């Protein structure tokens, strides 16, 4: 009896020892594999993102699953209610990266919510962009208004969202495709995005702007008025240049996802969403590792969240970027042959633009006026003067 107990105990200790050795070997192999690949991440990293339930948040969670499963790294996704909150955590080093939208551009430019004393131009650095099968902003029109092109919007009723200069500037930019301005249309003031949809439904407006797959557009499609998206053809270089002089981070894009869109897609413009960014101080190896993982494991997360297919490498549009890329990201893109001379030339232009903006802020700030409104107005004048002196675009009116 004692012999059997001793034998059993010996077997148990041997089994436990072998199991521990195997586990250590597996962990060591895993760590060596990561090191061999040049991937080096802390045990926990953090992103800020749009609120829970949004495409950006869902995509971050899907990428986090890859990090946990393949690299034993936890990704904390911190939802931010607005543009400032998402980037405030990044600037304060409470998150490593931010997966947001156009707010990264506004922060670079020191405009809109980032024209205040506590912000000003920020040295944002891009890691990777998502250009999905939808689009970030285009014109949706009531079918009974007979609008088949942007030129047809002349004289029509277009929603103007109070307190949303970025939306209204985007509308102005798309109107410029046909050499139109707000003076060529009837502006219908509304209190918010949903109110702009209601204005079309109630026959107070004919045109509203929004993402191609915006759920409220389904209400217009189902209404007696119907829904039509006018195309913005890319074969008109002058028209494309006019739009991009107002919204240079919007690029020509084919949209497939949205109500009433044709199977062959629709020519529109779109910005990246999400746009994964860090700061110029973001650690290079961490950036390199993050980009490498997102590229190499694309097939494993692309179908696990709406819009995740937009992270495809071939959709990155490096030569049309408006934000400079981080050196860690560039290092990886060069390794795989995705970064070329055109991308490098554009990146240098973007770095120079940031230098001009930050130099302008440094010269302006010490003698800036105290009042909020006076401060912002004076900064915008100083900003525009500095950009114009260097022959750089100011982004037009409405900012």
Pairing of strands 97-100, 275-279: antiparallel
Tens digits of residue pLDDT in 304-340: 998 899 999 999 999 999 999 999 999 999 999 999 9
**Tokens standing for residue 20:** 């521990």
**Tokens standing for residue 220:** 């217009």
Q: What span, in angstroms and rounded, lies between the C-alpha atoms of 81 and 102?
A: 14
Residue 77: the pLDDT is 97
Residue 161 to residues 153, 165, 186, 200, Cα–Cα distance (Å): 17, 8, 13, 13
Contact 132, 307 (CB under 8 A): yes
Q: What span, in angstroms and rounded, lies between the C-alpha atoms of 95 and 13?
A: 44
**Tokens standing for residue 291:** 């980009």
Q: Is 16 helix (H, G, I), strand (E, B) or coil?
A: helix
Contact 223, 140 (CB under 8 A): no
Contact 205, 268 (CB under 8 A): no
Tokens 């919204």 locate to 247
Q: What is the pTM for the complete model shown?
A: 0.82
Q: What is the pLDDT along the chain (399 residues), one digit of tens a residue?
A: 444 444 444 444 544 444 444 444 344 434 434 444 789 999 999 999 988 888 889 999 999 999 999 999 999 999 988 889 999 999 999 999 999 989 999 999 999 889 999 999 999 999 999 999 999 999 999 999 999 999 999 999 999 998 777 788 899 999 999 999 999 999 999 998 889 999 999 999 999 999 898 889 999 999 999 999 999 999 999 999 999 989 999 999 999 999 999 999 999 999 999 999 999 999 999 999 999 999 999 999 999 998 899 999 999 999 999 999 999 999 999 999 999 999 999 999 999 999 999 999 999 999 999 999 999 999 999 999 999 999 999 986 545
Kindly report the length of the chain.
Answer: 399
Helices (H) and strands (E) in the chain, counts: 13, 12
Contact 333, 155 (CB under 8 A): no
Residue 200: the pLDDT is 98
- For residue 338, count CB atoms less than 10 angstroms from its CB and return exposed for 0-12, middle for 13-18, buried for 19 or more: middle
Contact 335, 352 (CB under 8 A): no
Give which of 385, 383, 387, 390 is closest to 111, Cα–Cα.
383
Q: What span, in angstroms and rounded, lies between the C-alpha atoms of 140 and 51?
A: 25
Q: Is 73 helix (H, G, I), strand (E, B) or coil?
A: coil
Contact 130, 272 (CB under 8 A): yes
Residue 165: the pLDDT is 76
Pairing of strands 74-79, 251-255: unpaired
Where in the chain does DSSP place strands (E)? 44-49, 74-79, 97-100, 124-129, 138-142, 157-161, 186-190, 207-210, 227-228, 251-255, 266-270, 275-279
Tens digits of residue pLDDT in 106-148: 999 999 889 999 999 999 999 999 999 999 999 999 999 999 9
Q: Is 291 helix (H, G, I), strand (E, B) or coil?
A: helix
Q: What span, in angstroms and rounded, lies between the C-alpha atoms of 155 and 77?
A: 45
Q: List strands edge to edge, sheet with 124-129.
A: 74-79, 44-49, 97-100, 275-279, 124-129
Cα-based angle 272, 278, 281 (whole degrees, multiple of 5) = 155
- For residue 22, count CB atoms less than 10 angstroms from its CB and return exposed for 0-12, middle for 13-18, buried for 19 or more: exposed
CA dihedral (266, 267, 268, 274) positive or negative: positive
Helix 237-246 / helix 165-175 crossing angle, nearest 10 deg: 160
Residue 168 to residues 161, 199, 356, Cα–Cα distance (Å): 7, 16, 26
Cis ω before 29 (30° cut-off from 0) = no
Dihedral pair phi/psi, residue 198, rounded to 5°: -60, -35
Residue 11: the pLDDT is 45
Residue 252: the pLDDT is 95
- Domains, in order of start, for the chain: 44-130+273-389 (3.40.190.10), 138-270 (3.40.190.10)
Residue 397: the pLDDT is 55
């Amino acid at each position: 009896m004692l012999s059997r107990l001793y034998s059993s105990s010996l077997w148990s200790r041997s089994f436990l020892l072998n199991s521990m050795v195997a586990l250590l070997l597996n962990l060591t192999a895993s760590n060596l594999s990561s090191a061999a690949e040049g991937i080096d991440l802390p045990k926990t990293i953090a992103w800020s993102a749009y609120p829970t339930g949004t495409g950006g948040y869902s995509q971050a969670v899907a990428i986090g699953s890859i990090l946990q499963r393949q690299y034993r790294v936890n990704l904390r996704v911190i939802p931010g209610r607005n543009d400032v909150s998402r980037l405030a955590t990044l600037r304060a080093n409470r998150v490593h990266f931010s997966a947001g939208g156009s707010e990264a551009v506004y922060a670079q430019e020191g405009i809109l919510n980032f024209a205040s004393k506590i912000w000003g131009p920020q040295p944002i650095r891009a890691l990777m962009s998502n250009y999905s099968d939808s689009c970030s902003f285009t014109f949706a029109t009531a079918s009974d208004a007979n609008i088949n092109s942007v030129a047809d919007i002349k004289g029509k009723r277009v929603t103007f969202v109070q307190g949303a200069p970025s939306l209204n500037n985007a509308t102005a930019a798309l109107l410029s495709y046909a050499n139109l301005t707000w003076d060529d249309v009837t502006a219908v003031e509304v209190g918010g995005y949903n109110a702009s949809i209601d204005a079309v439904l109630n026959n107070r407006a004919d045109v509203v702007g929004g993402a191609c797959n915006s759920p409220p557009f389904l209400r217009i499609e189902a209404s007696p008025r119907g829904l039509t998206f006018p195309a913005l053809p890319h074969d008109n270089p002058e028209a494309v240049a006019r739009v991009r002089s107002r919204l240079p981070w919007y690029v020509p894009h084919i949209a497939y996802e949205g109500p009433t869109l044709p199977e062959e897609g629709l020519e529109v413009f779109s910005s990246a969403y999400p746009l994964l960014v860090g700061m110029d101080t973001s650690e290079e190896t961490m950036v390199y590792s993050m980009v490498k993982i997102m590229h190499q494991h694309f097939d494993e997360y692309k179908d696990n969240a709406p819009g995740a297919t937009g992270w495809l490498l071939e959709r990155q549009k490096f030569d049309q970027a408006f934000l400079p890329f981080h050196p860690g990201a560039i290092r990886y893109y060069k390794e795989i042959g995705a970064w070329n001379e055109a991308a490098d030339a554009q990146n240098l232009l973007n770095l120079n633009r940031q230098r001009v903006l930050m130099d302008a802020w440094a010269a302006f700030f010490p003698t800036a006026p105290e009042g909020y409104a006076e401060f912002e107005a004076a900064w915008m004048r100083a900003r525009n003067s500095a950009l114009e002196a260097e022959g750089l675009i100011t982004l037009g009116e409405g900012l």
